[in-house]
Amino acid sequence: MAEWINLHPQVVPCRNNKGSRFFDINYRRGPAWYFSRFERPGDHDGIITGEASPYYMYHPAAPERMAKTLPDVKLIAVLRDPVERAWSQYRYEVSRGNETESFDRALDLEPERLRGERERLETDPSYEGFDYRHHGYLERGHYADQLAKIYKFFPETQVLVLQSERLFAEPHVELSRVWGFLGLDNVTLSGLQPLNAGATRASLDDHYRTRLTEYFRPHNERLWELLGTTFDWDVEERGT
C-alpha cells in the first residue's frame, strides 16, 4: 500500500522511503527531526506526503503521540488475516535471527515475554521493547483493541480500514477508495495485477491453523462489530 500510494503523482514520499519510525522507536528525537524527514511545502508538485509503519498501530503509545503531533492526519490501516499474519511474522523473525523457539513454543511464551512491556513503552520513549516488537504474534492480531485505541484519539472519519486480501484481489477498486479518502485525483496505476486471495496465504500446518483460528475468532468478531462489516477470514469456520 505504501509503495502504491507513493506512485500517485500528487504524493511526495517520505525522505526515508517508506517511513520515519518516529512514533514508535524514534520518538525521543523530537518533532523537528520528524518533520525534517519530509519535503518542505513549495519544494515539489505534490499536495500531500506521508509514511507507513505497521508498528504504529500496535505500539501502545503511538496513537496518542500521533494525535499530539498531527491531530488532522488521515490514517489508513490495512488488516491481514491474523492467522496468516502471525505465521508470516514468525517466519520473518526466525529468518532475521530474532526467534529461536518453535512456533508452538513461541506462542506459549508470548504472555510471559510481553509481560510489562506495554506499560513501559507507554511511559519511557527511550525503551524499544524488543519482545513486544518482535514476539507479539498473537497480540498484533488483536485488531479491534488497536482500532478502539486509535478511535480514542481520532474521529472515525480520519481512519480508513482496508482488508489486505481485498486489496490484492481488487487493487484498483480499493485504491479508488484510498484516493477519495486522501482527497486525491482518482488515477489508475499501471502494472497492478489482481491476485487470488489464496496466493497470499502462507503454507501453515493444520495444527497451527486450527489453534490460531480458534484463538482469533472472538477477536475477529469484536472487529466485525466495531467496523459494522465482516472480512472474508475463516469463512468455513464462521459458517458463512
Q: What is the pLDDT along the chain (240 residues), one digit of tens a residue?
A: 999 999 999 999 898 878 899 999 999 999 999 999 998 756 666 689 999 998 999 999 999 999 999 999 999 999 999 999 999 999 999 999 999 999 999 999 999 999 999 999 999 999 999 999 999 999 999 999 999 999 999 999 999 999 999 999 999 999 999 999 999 999 999 988 776 555 556 688 999 999 999 999 999 999 999 999 999 896 444 433
Decide: helix, strand or coil at residue 113: helix
- What count of other Cβ atoms lies within 10 Å of the Cβ of residue 13? 21
Report all structural domains of the chain as residue ranges with CATH numbers, in order of start: 53-234 (3.40.50.300)
The reported pTM is: 0.90
Residue 126 CB burial class (10 angstroms; 0-12, 13-18, ≥19): exposed
Decide: helix, strand or coil at residue 92: helix
All three cell numbers of 167, joined, read 486489496
- What count of other Cβ atoms lies within 10 Å of the Cβ of residue 178? 20
All three cell numbers of 215, joined, read 484463538
Question: In angstroms, what is the C-alpha Rg of the chain?
Answer: 18
- What count of other Cβ atoms lies within 10 Å of the Cβ of residue 153? 16
CA angle 178, 183, 186 (to 5 degrees): 60
Bridge pairing between strands 11-13 and 48-50:
parallel
